Chains A and B, each alone.
Chain A
């Protein structure tokens, strides 16, 4: 069972996001990046499948922008990835999904695998989800928003659930290799202790594959802005005791319960 897990770094949404002076992109100098959380679920699912079926996990990331991806890749090794690969080329300033997917597709052409697991989406997918684009470029079947992946290695199929609103789920069987957009892994993504990451930094090797691909998505950013909220909550301020009394007053006024 050889699994490829394409991952990417995205700005950490816990931090305040600032927009550049031109109003065309985030102010990237100050950004703190983290691994896309859905990609973390995809990696976890890959690790779980490796534990069940054996095989290898190759993590690929397309290097774009000025984000330093080494620590993310070493963390993947510390969690159990076998190979970590940077896909590089003349697209460093590109952040779009189409370019990313083309670069991944080019890198994967000579990299046979049984399954491709990636996060179903990322916070910056302005031009669509990388997994679906990648599958289409490689002519592989794809299913998005999946959980509960079961692999039948002998039959070369996977059975997966696709989630809809209201908790309704479809079950699909798909021929392998396939690209699955992982919504949730069967277990919470594992944590890699700092000591293991440090060890990976000393022993693991980050490979590089250079590819040449067309860049751009056909959609250009005219303007980036912080959406103005149509309304905003009335903020309750003060000491916790005062806030709590005010909440109780509001609940009473609004007839939330009868006292």
Chain B
């Protein structure tokens, strides 16, 4: 209790019985911060029958679990109620929440409910003279902001993949403290079920060669151009989010945060600017070649080779030559 003003809380995230990687990434960073400030690393785990998951959070000094049948699946309303009750009692210096679909429902709601400042989309954080200073990636990753919290308690939402997960994994068994659920009444949001996508005709996570298409392709009529390129290369075709949302390719072909993570031998990105959500799903490909009309596109920061130009000039020519050389 006495040290709470230096504590770093990490809200653990899990789905289908698995803790997400970003939970460990946050724990690793929290260890570093707490080491400097003299506070504890405290993980918070909401769910039902979560003792096995709690045991995996050994990088934390303490794990609070709220175990309740109503928390078996993520429910934004219930999760906010439980976290609000716990955080207002514990008063940590810093609360780290993943910048994910679930985290988006938590971080801003807790900021408004507790009147604690929130810095979102963080790629770094430190405590400087008792103040939380975090680096946020905004404007599609084109601009970074070093923001300083004016509050005694701060919430940050943390981008997945920016801190090493290994530092948040420990073999030691953490101290687990069970907290009774705060909310008892029926809420206004009811979980109805989880849908796992059926396997498509192609599993892009298993393909060695991928051609990926983005917004730069312009219209559905032009998808044929990249299909031809994929065929000429013997690659599978995948895409960034806008293409899937437009219904031009099926959901199973989506690479990125809300799609699939791929690590192919070759990732040939056509007309993809490289929003952080997309880069997260493909940056570990062995060889990345990107074609884009904007020389400042973030995709060129993860690509091995870049081509600034009109894809409508390059792609048909490349398809044609590939067919010739591979014949």
Contacts and interface: CB of A to CB of B under 8 A. Distances in A.
A222 B317 contact: no
A153 interface: no
Interface string B214-257: 00000000000000000001100000000001110001101001
Contacts of B109: 132-133, 135-136, 142
Contacts of B195: 161, 168-171
A169 B304 CA distance: 34
A11 B192 CA distance: 38
Interface in B267-288: 286-288
Nearest to B113: A136
Contact of B138 (A126, A170, A220, A259): A126
Contacts of B301: 229-233
Contacts of A184: 245
Given A165-B259, A170-B194, 18 more contacts: A142-B76, A143-B105, A162-B101, A167-B252, A169-B194, A170-B195, A171-B194, A220-B147, A233-B290, A233-B306, A234-B305, A235-B300, A243-B307, A243-B309, A247-B318, A250-B287, A254-B287, A259-B326
Contact of A173 (B100, B192, B245, B308): B192
A219 B133 CA distance: 9
Interface of A: 11, 13-14, 16-17, 19, 26, 41, 97-98, 101, 120-121, 123-129, 132-133, 135-137, 141-145, 159, 161-175, 178, 181, 183-184, 188, 217-227, 229-237, 240-241, 243-245, 247-248, 250-251, 254, 256-257, 259
Nearest to A251: B266
Contact of B140 (A123, A136, A188, A244): A123
Contacts of B139: 11, 13, 17, 26, 123-124
Contact of B120 (A14, A125, A230, A250): A125
B160 to A, nearest CB: 8
26 contacts: A17-B142, A128-B111, A132-B108, A133-B108, A133-B112, A141-B188, A144-B104, A167-B258, A169-B194, A170-B195, A174-B189, A181-B104, A219-B147, A221-B146, A222-B148, A225-B143, A225-B146, A226-B142, A227-B141, A229-B300, A233-B303, A237-B308, A251-B266, A256-B233, A256-B287, A259-B326
B144 A227 contact: yes
A126 B119 contact: yes
A221 B147 contact: yes
A167 B145 contact: no
B194 A168 contact: yes
Contacts of B104: 120-121, 129, 132, 144-145, 181
B321 to A, nearest CB: 5
A134 to B, nearest CB: 9
Nearest to A140: B188
B78 to A, nearest CB: 11
Interface in B106-161: 107-109, 111-113, 115-121, 133, 136-151, 154, 157
B260 interface: yes
A226 B133 CA distance: 17
Contacts of A240: 309, 313-314, 317
Nearest to A162: B101
B34 to A, nearest CB: 21
Contact of A128 (B118, B145, B313): B118
A92 B143 CA distance: 22
A224 B192 contact: no
B172 interface: no
A67 B189 CA distance: 36
Given A132-B108, A167-B254, A257-B326, A141 B77 contact: yes
B190 A243 contact: no
B112 A98 contact: yes
Interface in B1-50: 15-16, 20
A235 B112 CA distance: 46
B258 A164 contact: yes
Given A128-B118, A167-B259, A233-B306, A224 B143 contact: yes
Contact of B149 (A125, A188, A218, A243): A218
A254 B266 contact: yes
Nearest to B313: A240
B74 interface: yes
Contacts of B115: 218
B102 interface: yes
Nearest to B324: A248
Given A11-B139, A142-B76, A224-B145, A128 B157 contact: yes
A172 B307 contact: no
Contacts of A137: 112
B124 to A, nearest CB: 10
Contacts of B149: 218-219
B209 interface: yes
A17 B305 CA distance: 24
B255 to A, nearest CB: 11
Contacts of B16: 168
A220 B321 CA distance: 54
